[in-house]
Structure 1
């Protein structure tokens, strides 16, 4: 079992707070490691590739969550979750040696890559359409559906919702509403069928039939008073595709028992205020329970010798809501308390899973709990491409898009790191840098980020700002602040502190570069200092 983002220190913290009793009990009964080092870079895709193979990114080829592949257009990035591993994963090697293996939602286990597929595999087919809030516009309907379902004295009206699914723009949902004192609503993907009655106060599953996927679907929820058609809205959750592969009728059985592969979260909708925190947590719990149920079903039905499965909940919450350092924007006691509730919920979800799995253990089971990395608070966003543009190495056209015919270098950033690719002639699809100029351009890239100061006023004296929060987090009356030593400045100080945000700058001239060097690696590798996050498309450097 892999729990994305479940760092050792955070796990200890939430066990001490009583939020993770199942993990604490498991730790007391089991063997556990404390002296360990993750791979570089420690992002989700590279880390899970290393877990699956025992090899570093230089061998697996998974050098980031997103990266550029040679011969592709600039900005035509590749996902580290869908690429073929350069080293055979253990579930494939065991399968080759006659063992039965299975993977559920585990990164880098895409069964479409036959060279790395387990005996049985359940994997996300990706997001087919983002979530959306639709205004339901009803119009009278008098066809066979109305006559079939309703009495002659009751009229019906219909609203049509078009799903924004790439390559399938005609996919629609048809919502029927009875015109009576206590209206009922029905939903269908077929304009000739009434469909299923909509539960007014709950989530409703809608199954789709999208080619090339073993399952597809979404969840919907009504918003507003159904007795009044004016102002009635429908929240359409993220549309997902699923890939179910295995022997015999495995795919049909998984679809029959568990339906479509659900969205891991509805973060975008919650962040925009479209759904409530309660609804957001319901969506997250639905995915967590689904992965657990599918995994246990496979365990008992197909009896695999090896089973890998994965939960992203903690990683999602920490990325979005980790607020612990005084340098972070929006830092105050009320905000910290609110965000801490969000994060605590995620750790509670993990603990619930551990309890469920532990209760289903057999005497001959060997259960290994692992994680890829922890997370730290972020206060500043960087954009390497802005720095490349300032250095004259990246050029944009009048519409603000990268002009490949004039650009010498481009950064593909993910999390706290970035790979920078030289637009080399003969290697890249629209390369302009001559091979004889490669070393010079590489040095220009390194120079653009070496000793690059950033002036940031986002610092406060921790003795004034942090201490009350850390007292609350730890439940102690007197707490000595042990975080990083921030400058003795306030948010309103006229002084500015100079910091260097790029902690690691490697090229093939550096010995350390060999640990990540691969055909997918950039010609220059950047890693941010603590507290900094990189974004490839940020409009400004800070």
Structure 2
């Protein structure tokens, strides 16, 4: 079947049970059509069940010991134990992929926002085309500027939540406008305030904001200019409007690039006192395609590329649920329009296209639909179901759009996800647990609220987790690590100390284990991690969380207040931080939930959905749906493995299996296709 094409549609975190539920309800009609004519299978994901590791495994058939992608981050041998780099950099991938095989065969490849393909160059122009390259899920515990310039910000007179990097929520007040020229007509005295864009990450630009009123009812517009000349405004908007995209050159410590952003008024009271001005993430405004001209072509039909949506703006209460759904829809539509354009207008034999919005809404609200979750509430469940269902529906709408450009008589289409999701109850502070066990000693600069104010006392530290503390812990081994203190003969002893520490961690309310298992590196084969090219990047201890838990990478400052009003700052001694859902909406009632016009602006919290549990668990399963020439309608009884996908696809297409693949061929699929071919 060498003349057949193949299209991968990657739906990050699409859960098999939710896909089937929404198909049955009628919310995913395009996926329903595919299910009625193709093969559906659950998939066991890789360890750890994280985005970078799983998508690399899907296209290579190799686990993290071979493919070089051990987690969200990677630490190279010889680096300090708290030094890391994002795994979403394609240069970290050590294995052969399906598109590498295709290129060797002279096939044309199209990569559309596929993870682990940035920076540009995964595909040369002679081999096909590449558009964007998804960098990371949007939970920026650590800012990783491979692609965009800076994250979003919100300027308000209120003290807003900012459960990400400090400095993104800026509090300020309006005051009477002074020194402006060419003012617009205003029915009220103009007001002003000054902002810096962005307020954190990189060196920003000072901008002047003018608040004015077009009617006697009160203030209703904001004008933004780089000077106090209103005729040179770069944005002039009313509440809810999207301002035009603005391009500026930004300078950071290790790079300088053009970035693109826009403004939106999320709130503006008639008296001009209460306001929320939202600055979008600053996306790189330079070419993000091969060939470079493709960026402009796609923008003409799909709009400006935005790397990630902004669940934090929703969870922290900056924007309403309706606005966040609108933002998610913009991302899904860009994916659908961009993919459709390339499939219709570019030459391709193998295409890989990815969208991440399902993952993001589940991270925000999954516990709200999971009855076993600590924060589950029958009063908020309908709202959470509505939000999640709508995002699946948005993605399905665009699947239909994409399929209009595909000939199913000549193309195999594979809808596939990378992992499932479980609820989140608690975030254990892993470094504090290790510290109390005598395994890690840290120093905290109490004079700043910067999350990077933590330093390690290496002379008294036996181990350190791979950031952000998921799955891997490295022993500080003498002779291997820059500040090593553990003698080689004590290596296994320290591994056991780490394991004992992890297994002693208990849920603060129920007393149950929060860690499912912890293993020595030599036992990593039990997790599908073998001694391949990436094995040196694997931690000395590997561990999986039970459902309900995800590590917290920070040590925060705390304030101790005394009866006389004085206070002192100390390192936070908490061992767990609770996950929260709708924390500012405790009075929510079922009757109100049913009202279509309800304002959800106070719904916010932190992540309540995660994917760090044992990969074989039911809720952690990914899914695959395959349609195409000769493919019968069939649902597999047992889960396959994600690493089986690439070998199976290779056999169907009669091409070489990626040389580093560790998975096997799913002959039940192959045989059924052959029988009906």
Which TM bucket (shorter chain)? 0.7 to 0.9
Q: Secondary structure at the match of 1:197?
A: strand
CA distance in 2, matches of 1:161, 1:398: 30
CA contact (8 A) 1:384 1:536 kept: yes
Q: How many angstroms apart in 1 are the aligned matches of 2:499 and 2:275?
A: 56
Instruction: Please state whether the residue corresponding to 1:424 is helix, strand or coil.
Output: coil
Q: Distance in 2 between matches of 1:108 and 1:296?
A: 21
**Residue of structure 1 equivalent to 2:40:** 33
CA apart distance, 1:303: 2.9
Within 5 Å, give how 1:346-425 maps onto structure 2.
Answer: 346-362=391-407, 364-397=410-443, 399=445, 401-412=455-466, 417-425=470-478
Q: Which residue of 2 aligns with 1:345?
A: 390
Aligned residue for 2:178? 140
Aligned to 2:521: 507
Matched, 1:58 2:65: yes
Residue 101 in 1 paired to residue 109 in 2? yes
Structure 1 residue 524, shift from structure 2 partner? 0.8
- Give the number of equivalent residue pairs: 496
User: Does structure 1 conserve the Cα–Cα contact (< 8 Å) formed by 2:156 and 2:274?
Assistant: no
CA contact (8 A) 2:187 2:215 kept: no
In the TM superposition, 1:140-539 aligns within 5 A as 140-143=178-181, 146=182, 159-164=193-198, 168-176=202-210, 181=215, 185-188=222-225, 193-210=232-249, 213=257, 216-225=260-269, 228-241=271-284, 244-247=288-291, 249-255=293-299, 258=302, 260-323=304-367, 324-362=369-407, 364-397=410-443, 399=445, 401-412=455-466, 417-450=470-503, 452=504, 454=506, 456-458=508-510, 498-499=512-513, 501-509=515-523, 511-512=525-526, 515=529, 518-537=535-554, 539=574
CA RMSD of aligned residues (A): 3.4
Rounded to whole Å, the distance in 2 between the matches of 1:35 and 1:340 is 22
| 1:101 CA drift (Å) | 2.0
Structure 1 residues not aligned, in runs of 5+: 459-496
Tell me the secondary structure at the aligned position of residue 519 of structure 2.
strand
SS at match of 1:76: coil
Distance in 1 separating the partners of 2:379 and 2:345? 48
What SS class does the counterpart of residue 46 from structure 1 fall into?
Answer: helix
> Alignment partner of 1:397: what SS?
strand
- 1:387 and 1:165 map into 2 onto residues whose CA distance is 33
Q: In 2, are the aligned partners of 1:223 and 1:235 still within 8 Å (CA)?
A: no
- Choose which of 110, 128, 138 in structure 1 pairs with 2:150: 128
CA distance in 1, matches of 2:156, 2:186: 30
Query: Residue 441 of structure 1: CA displacement?
Result: 2.0
TM normalised by structure 2 equals: 0.65
CA contact (8 A) 2:208 2:228 kept: yes
Aligned residues of 1:141 and 1:158 also touching (Cα < 8 A): no
Equivalence for 1:482 = none
* CA deviation profile, 1:31-74 (whole Å, cap 9, x unmatched): 22326432222211111001222222111111112343333333
TM-score between the two structures when normalised by the length of structure 1: 0.80
Shift of the alpha carbon at 1:312? Answer: 1.5
The answer on whether the counterparts of 2:16 and 2:42 sit within 8 Å (CA) in structure 1 is no
1:470 counterpart residue number = none
Aligned counterpart, 1:49: 56
Report Cα offsets for 1:299-351 as digits up to 9, x if no partner: 22323322212122221222221234454222331122222222222222222
Cα 1:351–1:66 change in 2 (3 A) is same
Contact 2:123 2:129 in 1 (8 A): no
User: What displacement does 1:419 show?
Assistant: 0.1
Q: 1:441 to 1:453 in 2, by over 3 A?
A: closer
With over 3 angstroms needed to count, the CA separation of the structure-2 counterparts of 1:384 and 1:133, relative to structure 1, is same
Note closer, same or farther for the CA distance 1:282–1:394 as it changes in structure 2 (3 Å cut): same
What is the distance in 2 between the residues matched to 1:105 and 1:137?
44
Aligned-residue offset at 1:217: 2.0
**Quick check: 1:6 aligned with 2:38?**
no
CA drift at 1:439: 3.0
Shift of 1:96: 4.8
Greater relative CO, 1 or 2 (CA 8 Å, sep 6+): 2
Q: CA deviation at 1:12?
A: 1.4
Residues in 2 aligned to 1:334 and 1:154: alpha-carbon distance in whole angstroms: 42
- Give SS of 2:416's match: coil
Contact 2:89–2:119 (CA under 8 A) maintained in structure 1: no
CA distance in 2, matches of 1:152, 1:15: 52
Distance 2:444 2:201 in 1: 29
* CA displacement, residues 183-241 of structure 1 (integer Å, 9 cap, x when unaligned): 7644345777233432444222432233655753244225214x644434412233233
Give the drift of 1:296.
1.6
**Residues 531 and 238 (structure 1 numbering): CA distance in 2 closer, same or farther, change over 3 Å?**
same
CA–CA separation in structure 1 for the residues paired with 2:176 and 2:298: 36
Unmatched segments (≥5 aa) in structure 2? 1-8, 135-146, 158-173, 251-255, 446-453, 556-573, 578-677
